[in-house]
A and B are shown apart, each in its own frame.
Chain A
């Protein structure tokens, strides 16, 4: 099975390791992610004002390209997923906006694509049972807190890949990998996102809350799906004061790659800050 894949800016550059581990893992469980031939940045934010047609054109361009490659498109980054899926829905449901957007495009696009997140492919196409069978290095004894953030869940009617208040898809994946998922209340709270740019105080507080909440429930490691969450949580962890619990942050494809037997050296743990490698060594996983 081949699924066209949209890497997005971050996963194509600073977080390249996440992208390669995802592709390797995909191959291991039986599907192929094919980079789109042509793609551009999705805009990294879905325009919240409906009159903002320009904000829709960048993702529409991506979708239109993707349509040439097939009927489905998968993404890894939660933000890309959110932006593309919501834009797709607008173009599908709202004739007027579809018309306006298409005026700026070479090929008309009608919103007929099925935008799916990598996790959805694992859950719905492959199945976690099958994933479990493919695991070669079970993450035994790893108490992992799955952190969802906003973009994978909200708004539920447009994109929610799982129950908006009590999602379990990541926990189910972690279970399949042999880890022990730890539920924590703040797993659906915001990390501060783009405020990283100009409001460090808010980011540290929000990300700090997430880390504290996970630690309080006994998580030894936090798993993210969004490179920006990853960055914010990591940053908070690094500059944290003494009373913030020290919990390593990993991207979900890193753990996936590890459990499926990929070489730890290629998974980019060295970029996660020292705590991650130390933790994984302690657990005997690298």
Chain B
């Protein structure tokens, strides 16, 4: 007869409010095999755990059920405690009676909650009776990290990991690292020049002997698991030999062909052989193969003629490399919602309606106007500029329902930069709320209003149209209750920050989750903000959701600490949730082999003493098996079972129903 203990947590009043935990404890005590039950205020607290451990020892329990919060919260906590008390940790099971019972059934009589808790606990008890002792699996760790995305978050992560003594590869899609931050003019609330603080870090990353930069590259395929990822990276053809190019610039000076500059968001042109911006790292140009006449129709080739070190190679092809990593940091960043998404603001057709990022380029000393504020249509200095906040944000009908978080601050910054550059100009800001939580942020916004004279109007703009060379803004000031019309020279939209196109594909390649906006899911939004549910893959920066530079940098550093912790020993332990083959009943039909998503099942040769192969049977590679259980269902003779989720455990739970 098993000796089972049941611990029902009140979670303060979180569970107790709708579940009579004492009654649950009393009733479950009557079940066969249950020898100890108790209800306690906070099982996860240290006195709670102490009494848990004591009860295990005192009652010589061989299995414990904790009916408390979701196993995603505290399964580890209690399993660790059970182990400390001498139990195999897989003899500890959690019943989820908070997230899936007490919090979702608001019955004041507590009947519904109590009944359901009892049911659920009974199911867990019966399941527990079928649990087997399991031991963790140890696997080797490749001490080499991959950082996907070379923006500020990725750079910070790479620098910190490298400073911790481990090797890092940064994969960046663009020809240069730097990301969106490289585009910014100055940064709130300190007004540091963005490039002044970013470029030293870019250079440091380039020169660091533990960091390799794979620019103009993308991740194609990810295999393996924590500690042992095998990643295929596509290095797109740059048509320039990186080892010999000196970055002298002769080629792009001489190149006679131009295209819209992606980096300048269409505000100016770049050459067809180009670096995205002058401080690019690495300072090696690439050829835009979709526009280069030499590549397209074998004409021109001027760049190759003027190149001193003969670095131009028109025959280069995309290259696939496969490398091994122990951990992956995802820092793929964000984009702004395109202006064409805003119907009432002219669908991006009104030239003088620009995005906040375009304004950054206008205000940047290295931008297309050298830092002078000029409106795109006629290059004149705009005297009235209207800034529209929440363009696309907090608009669940046509945009995104969330707040983009950084726009309040950068719009305040824009009005300041504008006033500093156009002394007789007037800035107007349409806002719904000003969200300036952050150190020195509120003071910064007040400064924009009080010192730099920005006119803040609380209301949304209904419509923007052109009339007689002006941009007419029709909106409301809800504080006075009036309609407002402003004849402006230029409009700046604080456009919503959205995930990158293809963010979902990247997530699928990596096997991590994402929300409906294609921002990546943290393992836990509060307590595991940089982890994903896929062990060994971490998240930093705006690929998770809107955030500002300080936050992105913090997350970069946070992922680095996670990676370094993982790399601190040569081997790591893994949950033993893996499939196992019963060699007596395996039919060798190989359905499991075919259906396994991980190529974790091998055909094992069974030999007799003389070494002759007498049979072939399926065999699960513990290192590769991730424990999904697809093979278990594929196996008709039930010769495979999944540890931790065995047929017997599931059966016991269903049978209790």
Complex: A in contact with B (CB within 8 Å):
yes
Bound complex: CA of A165 vs CA of B463, how far in Å? 9
Do the beta carbons of B472 and A185 come within 8 Å of each other? yes
Do the beta carbons of A165 and B467 come within 8 Å of each other? no
Do the beta carbons of B468 and A165 come within 8 Å of each other? no
Do the beta carbons of A185 and B468 come within 8 Å of each other? no
Q: Tell which of B347, B466, B472 touches A165, judged by Cβ atoms closer than 8 Å.
A: B347
- Closest chain B CB from A201 CB (angstroms): 17
Bound complex: CA of A216 vs CA of B470, how far in Å? 13
Do the beta carbons of B343 and A163 come within 8 Å of each other? yes
- Quick one: closest B residue to A157, CB to CB? B397
Bound complex: CA of A209 vs CA of B467, how far in Å? 13
Bound complex: CA of A102 vs CA of B343, how far in Å? 38
B347 / chain A contacts, CB cutoff of 8 Å: 165-166
Do the beta carbons of B344 and A216 come within 8 Å of each other? no
B42 at the interface (CB under 8 A from A): no
Do the beta carbons of B343 and A164 come within 8 Å of each other? yes
Most-contacted residue by chain B among A163, A165, A166, A216 (CB, 10 A):
A165
Digit string of A95-112 for contact with B (CB within 8 Å is 1, else 0)?
Answer: 000000000000000000
List 16 contacting pairs A-B, 8 Å CB cutoff, sorted by A: A163-B343, A164-B343, A165-B343, A165-B344, A165-B347, A166-B343, A166-B346, A166-B347, A166-B349, A185-B463, A185-B465, A185-B466, A185-B467, A185-B472, A216-B467, A216-B468
Bound complex: CA of A164 vs CA of B463, how far in Å? 12
Most-contacted residue by chain A among B343, B468, B472 (CB, 10 A):
B343
B468 / chain A contacts, CB cutoff of 8 Å: 216
Bound complex: CA of A242 vs CA of B526, how far in Å? 67
- Tell me the B434-472 residues at the A interface (CB within 8 Å): 463, 465-468, 472
- Quick one: closest B residue to A217, CB to CB? B467
Bound complex: CA of A216 vs CA of B347, how far in Å? 22
Bound complex: CA of A166 vs CA of B463, how far in Å? 12
Bound complex: CA of A166 vs CA of B350, how far in Å? 12
- Tell me the B328-348 residues at the A interface (CB within 8 Å): 343-344, 346-347
- Tell me the A162-178 residues at the B interface (CB within 8 Å): 163-166
A164 / chain B contacts, CB cutoff of 8 Å: 343
- The 3 A-B pairs with the shortest beta carbon distances in the complex, nearest first, are A165-B343, A185-B465, A165-B344
Bound complex: CA of A166 vs CA of B349, how far in Å? 10
Bound complex: CA of A216 vs CA of B463, how far in Å? 18
- Tell me the B453-498 residues at the A interface (CB within 8 Å): 463, 465-468, 472
Chain B interface residue count, CB cutoff 8 Å, equals: 11
Digit string of A202-221 for contact with B (CB within 8 Å is 1, else 0)?
Answer: 00000000000000100000
- Quick one: closest A residue to B474, CB to CB? A185
B344 / chain A contacts, CB cutoff of 8 Å: 165
B466 / chain A contacts, CB cutoff of 8 Å: 185
- Quick one: closest A residue to B347, CB to CB? A166
- Closest chain B CB from A161 CB (angstroms): 15
Bound complex: CA of A185 vs CA of B487, how far in Å? 14
- Tell me the A155-202 residues at the B interface (CB within 8 Å): 163-166, 185
Known contacts A166-B343, A166-B349, A185-B466; 13 further A-B pairs (Cβ under 8 A): A163-B343, A164-B343, A165-B343, A165-B344, A165-B347, A166-B346, A166-B347, A185-B463, A185-B465, A185-B467, A185-B472, A216-B467, A216-B468
Bound complex: CA of A165 vs CA of B340, how far in Å? 12
- Closest chain B CB from A171 CB (angstroms): 14
A216 / chain B contacts, CB cutoff of 8 Å: 467-468
- Closest chain A CB from B472 CB (angstroms): 7
Bound complex: CA of A189 vs CA of B275, how far in Å? 47
Bound complex: CA of A165 vs CA of B342, how far in Å? 9
- Tell me the A254-280 residues at the B interface (CB within 8 Å): none
Most-contacted residue by chain B among A163, A166, A185, A216 (CB, 10 A):
A185
Most-contacted residue by chain A among B346, B347, B467, B472 (CB, 10 A):
B467
Most-contacted residue by chain A among B349, B465, B468 (CB, 10 A):
B465
- Closest chain B CB from A15 CB (angstroms): 31
- Closest chain A CB from B642 CB (angstroms): 44
Bound complex: CA of A166 vs CA of B465, how far in Å? 11
Digit string of B490-509 for contact with A (CB within 8 Å is 1, else 0)?
Answer: 00000000000000000000
- Closest chain A CB from B185 CB (angstroms): 31
A166 / chain B contacts, CB cutoff of 8 Å: 343, 346-347, 349
B467 / chain A contacts, CB cutoff of 8 Å: 185, 216
- Quick one: closest A residue to B342, CB to CB? A165
- Tell me the B552-579 residues at the A interface (CB within 8 Å): none
B463 / chain A contacts, CB cutoff of 8 Å: 185
Bound complex: CA of A165 vs CA of B347, how far in Å? 9
Bound complex: CA of A266 vs CA of B652, how far in Å? 86
- Closest chain B CB from A185 CB (angstroms): 4
Bound complex: CA of A145 vs CA of B323, how far in Å? 63
- Quick one: closest B residue to A189, CB to CB? B463
Bound complex: CA of A78 vs CA of B97, how far in Å? 57
B472 / chain A contacts, CB cutoff of 8 Å: 185
Digit string of B233-249 for contact with A (CB within 8 Å is 1, else 0)?
Answer: 00000000000000000
- Closest chain B CB from A205 CB (angstroms): 13
- Tell me the A34-59 residues at the B interface (CB within 8 Å): none
Bound complex: CA of A166 vs CA of B340, how far in Å? 12
- Closest chain B CB from A188 CB (angstroms): 9
B343 / chain A contacts, CB cutoff of 8 Å: 163-166
- Quick one: closest A residue to B343, CB to CB? A165
B349 / chain A contacts, CB cutoff of 8 Å: 166
Bound complex: CA of A192 vs CA of B344, how far in Å? 21
- Closest chain B CB from A100 CB (angstroms): 28
Bound complex: CA of A165 vs CA of B474, how far in Å? 14
- Closest chain B CB from A125 CB (angstroms): 27
B346 / chain A contacts, CB cutoff of 8 Å: 166
- Closest chain B CB from A202 CB (angstroms): 14
- Closest chain A CB from B76 CB (angstroms): 47
- Closest chain B CB from A40 CB (angstroms): 35
- Closest chain A CB from B581 CB (angstroms): 53
- Closest chain A CB from B493 CB (angstroms): 15
- Quick one: closest A residue to B465, CB to CB? A185
Bound complex: CA of A163 vs CA of B347, how far in Å? 11
- Closest chain A CB from B416 CB (angstroms): 31
Bound complex: CA of A164 vs CA of B344, how far in Å? 9
A185 / chain B contacts, CB cutoff of 8 Å: 463, 465-467, 472
- Tell me the B209-256 residues at the A interface (CB within 8 Å): none
Bound complex: CA of A216 vs CA of B472, how far in Å? 14
A163 / chain B contacts, CB cutoff of 8 Å: 343
Bound complex: CA of A164 vs CA of B397, how far in Å? 14
B465 / chain A contacts, CB cutoff of 8 Å: 185
- Quick one: closest A residue to B464, CB to CB? A185
Bound complex: CA of A25 vs CA of B343, how far in Å? 33
- Closest chain B CB from A223 CB (angstroms): 19
- Quick one: closest B residue to A166, CB to CB? B347
- Closest chain B CB from A17 CB (angstroms): 34
Bound complex: CA of A164 vs CA of B398, how far in Å? 12
Bound complex: CA of A53 vs CA of B465, how far in Å? 39
A165 / chain B contacts, CB cutoff of 8 Å: 343-344, 347
- Closest chain A CB from B462 CB (angstroms): 11
- Quick one: closest A residue to B344, CB to CB? A165
Bound complex: CA of A230 vs CA of B630, how far in Å? 68
Bound complex: CA of A176 vs CA of B343, how far in Å? 26
Bound complex: CA of A185 vs CA of B472, how far in Å? 10
- Closest chain A CB from B466 CB (angstroms): 7
- Closest chain A CB from B13 CB (angstroms): 40
- Closest chain A CB from B488 CB (angstroms): 14
Digit string of B345-360 for contact with A (CB within 8 Å is 1, else 0)?
Answer: 0110100000000000
- Closest chain B CB from A262 CB (angstroms): 36
Bound complex: CA of A216 vs CA of B465, how far in Å? 13
- Closest chain B CB from A265 CB (angstroms): 39
- Tell me the B134-187 residues at the A interface (CB within 8 Å): none
Bound complex: CA of A164 vs CA of B467, how far in Å? 20
Bound complex: CA of A170 vs CA of B358, how far in Å? 34
Bound complex: CA of A216 vs CA of B469, how far in Å? 12
Bound complex: CA of A163 vs CA of B463, how far in Å? 15
- Closest chain A CB from B444 CB (angstroms): 34
